[in-house]
Structure 1
Amino acid sequence: MTVSNTRARHRAARRPVTPLTDIAHAATASIGVVGRRSAAVAATSGLVVTMIGSVANAAPAGGAAGSLPAVDTSALTASARAVLETAPVVTAPVEASWSFDAPAVEAVAPVVKKATTRTATLAASRSTTRTAVATAAATSDVPQSVAGNSVLEIAARYVGVPYVSGGTTPDGFDCSGFVSYVYDQLGVSLPRTSAGIKAAGTVVSRADAQPGDIIWSPGHVAIYAGGDQQIDSPRPGKTIQFRSIWQSAPVFIRIG
């Protein structure tokens, strides 16, 4: 029987490998990466990062597998400490109060335009009308008989005023309204209608008629201006004017 003197070789004793061993290695490696990244962020942003140099499951002495490299936390946080030392100190009192200064407000009363009264409007309208009438009378063909004749002088002021059915004011006249208005300026009150005006006076012949007398025809009245002329408010669409006597059989009426 042959006896072998060769000694069997045995592996060195090591920590047993289990499924948890792989998990521990992965965890410790991640912790190392995270620690280095956290230190870099703290150094660049000026924040103080407190790091713990020891790891809970440190490997036994002798550099056995699974141990973590040492991290110099003082060097990593040096920049952050320098920034904090030079940063201004901000403090706040225990009791703070605040106030608000309200801006000054000045009330301004609104500007209210005065309403134009109807009376003022009518007065302005009549004034404008009279000015226009006076201008028209000065430039129109006015008979010589007007000069010195009070009735015709008043009547001539309204040359150019439009015919208005039922009108009795300088804003507009009809035929009888015009004659009555002119005589009323002289203090003579006449009826409103043409028939009433005829009845209020005395009929005279054409040969005896004088400037200022009234010319009557059925449904119409005018003021005689001498010769073959009269002044009246003709009809709708026309204005007061001096014109030739157009009536075929005019009746001359004298008032007073």
Structure 2
Amino acid sequence: MTVSTPRARHRAARRPSTPLTEIASAASEQMGTVGRRTAVVAAASGLAVTMLGGPASAANQNEAGALPAVDTTSLTASARAVLETAPVVTAPAEVSWSFDTPTVTAVKPVVKETPARTATATTTSRSEARTAVASNPIPQSVAGNAVLEIAARYVGTPYVSGGSTPDGFDCSGFVSYVYAQLGIELPHSSGAYPSIGTVVSAADALPGDIIWSPGHVAIYAGGSQQIDSPRPGKTVQFREIWQSNPMFIRIG
């Protein structure tokens, strides 16, 4: 029979614990935990990068294989041919330019002047017109008759509506102007003449009397003649009495 004698167990001696040893122990444990987590994250990150990088590389390879090859030599062949045949232009390092300045001479333009109308030219033209109109025989009754002698001076004067001067007469303007040279004032209106002077018959009419018809007035020149300023486009002239039944008026 074996008899075992129980041995006494003693706890191993522990290092004395201080606040500094406890802080160091806690720090060691935390650093170990952080190191393990870092390793796991690094491993996981590497796996993720590997997983993401693989498909991207494959996609780039597929795209590169899908694009056709471009022959740049054939595309630029025509341009190179033009450059090879183009002329080469060279210039010396020092170039001077010169040109001749033309002589400019100012020439005064010639302006054709229009001759101004003069009173002499107007008077001459009027005299020629009067001569042409007076080419017909002037009634003998003009001689010695003061009214007709004055009236005859204005043969050829043009008709002007409202005119009462030698520049132009209308019918009543002419009669009133002639009588005004003798100091007798008459109206410048043909409609007023029937109420002035003395009405005489055609048989008793004398050269110098006034011939009136509705809208017109003239001076009797004897026989079948009268002198008047007829109408627009005409001139003062001696002519046949054309009124069918005129009124003869004697002034004075």
After TM superposition, the score normalised by the length of structure 2 is 0.50
Higher helix fraction: Structure 1 or Structure 2?
A: 2
Larger radius of gyration: 2
